[in-house]
Amino acid sequence: MLIDIIAGARPNFMKIAPIIRALRARQAAGGPLRYRLVHTGQHYDERMSGAFFDQLQIPQPDVNLDVGSGTQAEQTGLIMTRYEQLLLQQRSDLCLVVGDVTSTMACAITAQKLQIEVAHVEAGIRSGDWGMPEEINRLVTDAITNWFFTTSRHANAHLRRAGVADERIFFVGNTMVDTLLFNLERLVKPAWFDKEGLGQKDYFVVTLHRPANVDDPAQLARLVQAISACARDLPVIFPVHPRTAKSMEGLGPTPPNIRLVEPQPYLEFNWLVRHARAVVTDSGGITEEATMLHVPCMTLRDTTERPETVEIGTNELLGTDPAALPPAFDRLFAGAWRAGGIPERWDGKAGDRIVAVLEQQWLARRGSPFTTDGVEPPAE
């Protein structure tokens, strides 16, 4: 069985790393699954994707579609055209997509039109906000997916309400968490950290990239000013996403405690999160990492597709109004932030469970005597 593993943007690399690691282990044991790593090139900036291959110990892609920059429609069209060409040259048996980026949706559509089955890792999550491009990608991908690998019971429920049969839903856990736990002792202090005079638990980390927060420079300026004031003169480390950088060009000088830095590699960024007093973000993935690291997290969004980080974890959903920040920071400084816990099956074994399911599904169809002993599938 040849599986195409699709990655195109920074979050994808974190999600595919444990799957590739599990596939390699099973191959070494004589397992039947082979894979082809397809990088769409959706994130073409070395800072946004290139360094991840080394840090996360992911092999270099077998294929790079090299789509580069463009509008969402332009990128979608190029990904579909180039992935179709690849499949016509060498067909795969399964297209495995992860997350909710443009590459996820585009490759799923292309594969299905060529009658190649699709497996979706992180299926079923929903924010309910159709203003997010990611929500459209999730809905489209799940509408044409064959095998659904989920991170939570919330996701399972969304899929069942959409009419997906139970036998196609596999509650495996969270591969982002697998990657974090695997690398926890490998996290690296940024080279500039000590030079900036920073101390552990005496700074904040901020990331902003959602259109509602950064596309309007005035809104971005209000958020930055509010975060600066609420931090009470403590440093605020702000790795600036390329999308955010464009809006910041005309804002003038930032407050003195806002430290703008380049997007950080995975190991350095999560070191910063692990040792921060708190995180302010509009990223879904970072809310998961903060939950695992027991770091208070404030999410500047009205909705979240990861409600378990709010119900169980350390995350609070504040909305996009800067006025919501002062009370949240007051609770934090008063020591009143909830400690949070770890969501179900966020245990570092999602990649192994996914590979076990894929083996069982493939071998059941072929009537093969090969055993999947040693790799446990998920169980409800």
Cα distance between residue 88 and residue 115, in whole Å:
12
Q: What pLDDT score was predicted for residue 50?
A: 58
| Catalytically annotated residues | 209
Q: 328-349, pLDDT tens digit by residue?
A: 999 999 999 999 999 999 999 9
How far lies 334's CA from each of 236, 310, 331, in Å? 19, 20, 5
Both tokens of 237, joined, read 């480390």
Residue among 338, 191, 319, 312 at smallest CA distance from 261: 191
Q: 68-86, pLDDT tens digit by residue?
A: 888 999 999 999 999 999 9
Q: What pLDDT score was predicted for residue 69?
A: 84
Cα distance between residue 277 and residue 297, in whole Å:
9
Cα distance between residue 132 and residue 130, in whole Å:
5
Torsion angles phi and psi, residue 15, rounded to 5: -80, -30
pLDDT beyond 70 at 379? no
Task: Determine the average pLDDT of the residues in 43-66.
Answer: 80
- pTM reported for the whole predicted model: 0.93
Q: Which domains does the chain have, with CATH numbers?
A: 2-173+349-366 (3.40.50.2000), 185-333 (3.40.50.2000)
pLDDT beyond 60 at 120? yes
Geometric angle at alpha carbon 47, from 43 and 51, rounded to 5° = 95
Task: Determine the average pLDDT of the residues in 135-142.
Answer: 98
Q: 221-249, pLDDT tens digit by residue?
A: 999 999 999 999 999 999 998 878 888 88
